[in-house]
A and B are shown apart, each in its own frame.
Chain A
């Protein structure tokens, strides 16, 4: 125990001497979250629309008014012919083009089906799908209002029955994507900062030759590992506190579950990421190798396969199996569950257990690797 304490003190000493490093590890996560929390939004609002109104009647203007009043579309450009729309879509200045053919108003008043064309830029399928949905809603509301006014004029007719929908959104009633994305960014930042710290820790001493000095002392490998890890655990916990505070109080993400549970789970997650970092450190010869291994094997797969932005259930089955070896996947579910749904241990124990198992295995492996290297 005393030896471990000595190593911890030595590590702390080293970290404190490197003030710049300490500053970066504490300030960078907050700064990144403050900035990137705003970037991660999938909300589709103010879709720029190029309009070719060849009718210019009261009816076509009413339709346009309904498009802009919906809040989803901005009447950004007016063009003379439908061909002119091409140019705006090609350059990406407009996302949709609306063509109102001549006689649109006359047709509607004469109870003839009036064609209406919408051209959507499908390159971003997600926003295109959402904007088509909104356009469909606007047009069907417009259609229904026309039918109703026509029926009003002829009192002998009654409107046919319709099935209306009443939508109730739970957990995130305003459908703000930020509430879902900010906890995701928090998890990502914790992974990056804690792993970067440890993945280089041991390999650096190896490169600079100070590892040999440590090895000739009667320190046991597990003592060394724990001693090396402790300061990073503390930095990790400080980072957890900082980013969670920013998420809750700056971004106003509702925290419906227990703070204590969130803290405990974050602790388990940080243990896992530190373990992963150490493991990389023990299998790398140079800092460059450690860095590339962390980047290619951990960071890049984690960003895509953890469910951070791409829902896991949409992936092919074989890729879904791959996601099980990505610790961030479990923590994503945990942090979002606690924040948005108020999930407790009853719902989250499988993910917690998976993380803990992963952490214990990877730490054990690091110690074993280290042993082998000594022998």
Chain B
């Protein structure tokens, strides 16, 4: 069979080589994008711009505010005199959060009364806001505990915390979001390059009239599909090597688990992605439609439904089911498992199976469509 497919592979390879710009884009640009975007992928909320309205202006309130300025999570940008100023700063987006201390902050604490500190938060970016509130609350708790200890000491009692809470973080102890996001970026970029590399391949031949030549060559449509897949699989695999190298050199992402399984998983995944592109190519009436369909089915769905950025378990059930249409979802579980956790086949064999099913379906459908079209 290979001897029959070989001419198609050679023809496709020649065609790929002739269009140097497209080849360069497919081969090198994914790695460049990993390099560029890798630095931008960041959920770590730090340096939140903070505005302060200190109505007490006592040494004690200043001490409390200093706790914010020494934290890396906050940058105190403004120290204002009135609520109106805070409103303007928040409206213009110059500050994301404001801390307001009450007038009798020090006096009340000294008298043993509770005080209320106010946080005003720009909630438009809910994620950043939630994190910032968490950090500010924990700074306040620490301060509150030190005040309580001091008050208790004055009355000759020992401070006492009933629960000794010890949180521990696994896999990614410093909570660096890049570690989680970069393997996702690998999958995202591979998926998109693979789909666009094949999505024009069949429809282009049709527009140029070269499809008829292929059809009279007595090759089975399945053979044509395989012949068209293999060269692009090679290009995408090479590109994935470059991507992994970029991740290692610039972001210190090393593969904890087995490299063999990493590439086995990548190959199965790419077959599915290329299959999706080929299928689009067999159903689209022209190249413009093929482009439109491939962008609409791959770009945002992969970004939003694969669990790359947004946790699938937080989505409505219907979308959780629907997320299975993007093979990247399964691939991300595999690469995150291998790269971050170093787990073995036992933890992800089912994902490999799903990806293989996806590849089987898309490639078979393409060949069936091609057959129908030929007749």
Q: Please pick, from A113, A160, A163, A192, the residue contacting B140 in the complex, using a CB distance under 8 A.
A: A163
Within the assembled complex, what's the spacing in Å between the Cα atoms of A233 and B36? 32
Cβ of B173 < 8 Å from any Cβ of A?
Answer: yes
With both chains docked as a complex, state the minimum distance between the C-beta of A276 and any C-beta of chain B, in angstroms.
14
Question: Is there contact, CB below 8 Å, between A117 and B168?
Answer: yes
With both chains docked as a complex, state the minimum distance between the C-beta of A158 and any C-beta of chain B, in angstroms.
7
A residues in contact with B37, CB < 8 Å: 300-301, 304-305
Cβ of B59 < 8 Å from any Cβ of A?
Answer: no
Question: Is there contact, CB below 8 Å, between A136 and B165?
Answer: yes
Within the assembled complex, what's the spacing in Å between the Cα atoms of A185 and B90? 24
With contacts A32-B296, A36-B301 known, what are 9 further pairs, Cβ within 8 A? Answer: A90-B341, A118-B168, A128-B172, A128-B175, A135-B165, A147-B160, A160-B112, A165-B119, A167-B119
- On whether A169 and B315 interact (CB within 8 A), knowing A120-B167, A162-B148, A293-B25, the answer reads no
Q: Please pick, from A169, A300, A319, the residue contacting B33 in the complex, using a CB distance under 8 A.
A: A300
Q: How many A-B Cβ pairs are below 8 Å? A: 350
Within the assembled complex, what's the spacing in Å between the Cα atoms of A340 and B129? 14
Question: Is there contact, CB below 8 Å, between A168 and B114?
Answer: no
- On whether A289 and B127 interact (CB within 8 A), knowing A117-B168, A315-B42, the answer reads no
* Contact digits for B283-316, partner A, Cβ 8 Å, 1 yes 0 no: 0010111011101100111011100011101111
* Contact digits for A286-304, partner B, Cβ 8 Å, 1 yes 0 no: 1111011101100111011
Within the assembled complex, what's the spacing in Å between the Cα atoms of A177 and B128? 10
With both chains docked as a complex, state the minimum distance between the C-beta of B353 and any C-beta of chain A, in angstroms.
16
Q: Please pick, from B162, B168, B169, the residue contacting A114 in the complex, using a CB distance under 8 A.
A: B162
8 A–B contacts, CB within 8 A, in A order:
A91-B347, A123-B172, A128-B175, A163-B115, A170-B90, A172-B129, A291-B200, A291-B291
Within the assembled complex, what's the spacing in Å between the Cα atoms of A233 and B125? 31
Cβ of B206 < 8 Å from any Cβ of A?
Answer: no
Tell me the residues in window 321-360 of chain A with beta carbons closer than 8 Å to chain B beta carbons: 322, 336-337, 340-341, 343, 347
- On whether A295 and B288 interact (CB within 8 A), knowing A161-B112, A163-B115, A164-B115, the answer reads no
> What is A's interface to B at a CB cutoff of 8 Å?
20-21, 24-25, 28, 32, 35-36, 38-46, 48, 63, 89-92, 108, 111, 113-130, 132-133, 135-137, 139-140, 142-143, 146-147, 157-158, 160-173, 175-177, 179-180, 185, 188-189, 192, 196-197, 200, 204, 207-208, 285-289, 291-293, 295-296, 299-301, 303-305, 309-311, 313-316, 318-319, 322, 336-337, 340-341, 343, 347
Question: Is there contact, CB below 8 Å, between B310 and A196?
Answer: no
Cβ of B10 < 8 Å from any Cβ of A?
Answer: no
Within the assembled complex, what's the spacing in Å between the Cα atoms of A28 and B296? 8
Question: Is there contact, CB below 8 Å, between B200 and A43?
Answer: no
Tell me the residues in window 332-350 of chain B with beta carbons closer than 8 Å to chain A beta carbons: 333, 336, 340-341, 343, 347
* Contact digits for B100-129, partner A, Cβ 8 Å, 1 yes 0 no: 000000001101111111111111111111
Greatest chain A CB density within 10 A among B163, B180, B207, B303 is at B163
**What residue in chain A is nearest B284 (Cβ atoms)?**
A20
B residues in contact with A304, CB < 8 Å: 37, 40-41
Question: Is there contact, CB below 8 Å, between B90 and A166?
Answer: no
B residues in contact with A135, CB < 8 Å: 165, 167
Within the assembled complex, what's the spacing in Å between the Cα atoms of A42 and B295? 24
B residues in contact with A197, CB < 8 Å: 292
Q: Please pick, from B170, B303, B310, the residue contacting A42 in the complex, using a CB distance under 8 A.
A: B310
Question: Is there contact, CB below 8 Å, between B108 and A161?
Answer: yes
